[in-house]
Structure formats: structure tokens, C-alpha cells
Structure 1
Amino acid sequence: MKIAVLVPAYNEENQIRNTIKGIMNIPYDIDLFVIDDGSTDNTVKYVQEFKNVNLLTYGANKGKGFALNFGLKKVIGNYDIIGFLDGDIGETSSEAEKLIKPILYDKIDVTIAQFPSAKKKGGFGFVKRLSFSGIKYFTGKEIYSGLSGQRFFKKEVLEIIEEIPFGYGVEVGMTIDILKKGFTIKEVPVVMTHNETGRNISGFIHRFKQFYHIILILIKKALKN
């Protein structure tokens, strides 16, 4: 089966090379696409160092949801399995092998990476509880990793779900759409790391944006019902 991995990246010069190297260590034949979301640092330069990586660009920063939709339009018709991995997970991106196996061998439609507990204190769990409660309310299913952006899909899933939501509610919105369509999701424990937000001003601003965007997604879905 043909596998593509999409990596949306915005100002990820510190980790993008390691993320690419980790993906290259996965023992499957993978076509890698990095979607630059208007980076102003050396992200594009570092991606171009890898001759077998496809770089997709469109100019200004438009957010993760836009980047994923942009990338999907380029690959959806040519691959059987498509994965989303964030640009900041470094060489732990090689753990994505664990996300591919259940789709190849266990008849699972979608896998989501279940990260280990955070090493430093972040928020107070409001965003995670909102994610869990929102998904359960609309689908009846309990998904504990609804905020995780590390996911792999059978092509058929991405072909029939609604357009990937924009903003910080992208993962929650996708999870609800997937489950409502009757597809199977498996949460897979992985040993991945990413840039964690702490209990500081920038961290709280990030979590507020997440909370706000998820609320907007849930309201939008409630109005459709």
C-alpha cells in the first residue's frame, strides 16, 4: 500500500530536520510532504537539504488546518494511507511506525498517537476535558487523545469526511466527523515528544486559543444537528 505523510510546519527550524530523519527511519516506503505554513525562519532552507522530501508552499501563514487541506489536495488520489505528523516531534517521529501497523494489519481505519504524560506542568486540564466531553457528546465514544495531531488514515476516511477544520480545533473536529461516519479509531501508545507549553503567559494564551477554537467547532456542529 502506498503511504504518504504530511507534515505542516510553521517556524520549526529547531526540530524539522530531526522530524524528517525520524520519518525516514520508519521501515516502510513513505513519500514525505512538508507543507510550509509561511515560515519566517530557516524551516524551508532545512527542508530543502533533503532531496527526497517534497516541499509544498503557498506564502503567508494560514494555520494548520489550511496547511493540511492544501497538502491533502496534492496527495489524496495517489495514496492508500495518509498520515499527519507535527513538525516539532523530532526524531520521535519514527514512532509513527506504530500508527501504521494497525491500519495495515488490524483493519483499523484511523490511528491516533497517545502521548506519555507531560514532563512539565502545563494547564489545568480544561482543554483536554473539553475535547473528551465534546467528542463523547456528539459520538458517544470515549477518545482520550482527541487533541493529538499525530494520526494516520485510510484514504477512504479522508475522501468522505468534511473539510478539515481550521484553527486549534482541527483534531477535535476531525475526530467527531470520523466517528459519526462510522469509521474505527484506535488510540496507540507512543513514546513521542513535542514542544510542551508551560504555565507561563504564552502557554496560557495558547491553551485559551485552543479552548476557544474547540468551543467554536462544537457550537458549529451543534447547530448542524
Structure 2
Amino acid sequence: MKTHPALSIIVPARNEELRIAETLAAVRSASQQWNGLSSIPELELIVVDDGSSDMTYRRAAHWADVVVRHPTCCGKGKALSTGKHAARGNVLVFLDADLGASARFYPELALPVLNGLADMVIAQLAGAARPGGLGLVKKLAKQGVYGLSGFSASAPLSGQRAVRREVLERIGRLSGGFGVEVGLTIDAVKLGYRVLEQPVPFAHRETGRDLHSWLHRGKQLCAVGGTLWRWWRQPVC
């Protein structure tokens, strides 16, 4: 009988043909080194292609154990939910597709959960090298998480996190869109789970101050605000 993997790594991706292969290759390389040092029964790598119009699916298929494809863009929250249902691991690690070579640091995120030191670990990333937005989305998220759960979050929007399957199953819901991380943090804290933030040297593709970047931040702001409103109206407990 095949055992379930100890760890499921879930990578939601949309139009990431330029970086998805580098990200997944870094995960594979780190996993091989890690297995040489630790006894990890099994690991699976899952990519959720959220309606990409480029070569994301084909480039991911070379590296991933499972690639699930949404026919149209359903949003990040739905992509994570799809990945959760496809995963078999006891611990789930969510990684963004644009981490590139820095994805090799994912063991630093997963080990505290695997070792029983936390129920969810959220990665704190270093500050951006160049000016980006005005910080409105992060400020709203921090204030909202604190107001609804009492947890003072340093990285409320971080998509890089490891979490025990039991936590997700008990919560039973994930917010849609870019508010998914905020909702997940609030629910985990309110249900009494141990949530830990720690620095991990992941590196995103940075956004600037062009029109596309501002539109993206606007969508984030609306999504986070919508999640906070719904979670205030319908608390998990």
C-alpha cells in the first residue's frame, strides 16, 4: 500500500511561463538535498494552472507530479482550494510561482510544522529593492487581521506558508482572490492554532509603478477589504 506523502507543495500559477520552470526546479533540487539529510517519507509537487494563456501548463508538467488546469481564470483563492483538494500530504506548503531560484528555501518554511513547533508558518520576505506601492493594501490587511483575531501580523499578505492539513479541514473555507491569506490567518488564530511568522529569503518578481501594477494593487485592496467584511459578518467561531 502506497503511503501518503508527508508534504504536499502547491504552486498556483497564471501566465508564469518565464519563471515556473525555475521555481519548480529549485523545489526539486532542495527536496533531493533535504531527503539526503532527513527522513521524509514522500513529497509531492502540485501546480494549479489558473487559466493561463501561455505555456505555463507545458513547462510545469515537466517538473510537477500533478498539474491541475482551470479552463478559465478562477482567482488565487480557488486555485489554492483546488490544490488543497488534490493534495494528499499531512502538511501543505503554498508557494508562489514567481519565486524562481529562491524557492529552494522552502524547507525553512516547512520544518517547524513537520517538527510540531507550529500549526501554520508564514514567511516574512525582505523589503522590495525598489519603490512599489504606497503600502495601503498591507496596512489594511494588518489592521484587519489584528482587529478580527488579535494577531499582530508582520506579513499578512504573504502567500508563502506551510500549514497542517487538519487546520485547513477544520476551517473549511478559503476566501476567493487575493484575500485568501488574510482570511486563512484570521481563521487559524481564532480557532486556537499556533501561527508563526519567520524570515525566509524568498524573492518575488517585483512590481513597479506602471499602470498594470497600480491596477493589480487596486484589485488586491478590493479583495482584502471584501474578505475582511465577510469574515467580520461570518466569523469562523
Distance 2:24 2:49 in 1: 13
1:145 deviates by 0.5
Aligned to 1:24: 28
Deviations 1:127-171 (A, max 9, x none): 111111000001111011110000101111111113111111111
1:158 aligns with 2:168: yes
Which of residues 5, 9, 18 is equivalent to 2:9? 5
1:40 aligns with 2:53: yes
1:88 aligns with 2:98: yes
1:168 aligns with 2:181: no
1:55 aligns with 2:59: no
SS in 2 for 1:25: helix
1:56 deviates by 1.1
Distance 1:137 1:115 in 2: 23
Aligned to 2:135: 125
Deviations 1:173-222 (A, max 9, x none): 11111111111111121111112211221111111111111111111122
Distance 1:71 1:80 in 2: 13
1:105 deviates by 2.3
The answer as to whether partners of 1:47 and 1:53 remain within 8 angstroms in 2 is no
Distance 2:165 2:116 in 1: 16
1:101 aligns with 2:111: yes
1:106 deviates by 4.7
Percent identity, please.
Answer: 35
Superposition CA RMSD, Å:
1.4
Distance 1:101 1:48 in 2: 26
Q: TM-score, normalised by structure 2?
A: 0.90
1:224 aligns with 2:228: no
**Structure 2: stretches of 5+ with no match in the other structure:** 36-41
- Give runs of ≥4 in structure 1 deviating > 4 Å: none
- Residue 41 of structure 1 aligns with an amino acid whose one-letter code is D
**How many equivalent residue pairs?**
222
The answer as to whether partners of 1:35 and 1:55 remain within 8 angstroms in 2 is yes
1:107 deviates by 2.1
- Residue 24 of structure 2 aligns with an amino acid whose one-letter code is I
1:66 aligns with 2:66: no
Distance 1:170 1:135 in 2: 12
Taking structure 1 as reference, are residues 20 and 102 closer, same or farther at Cα in structure 2, changes over 3 Å only? same
Aligned to 2:193: 183
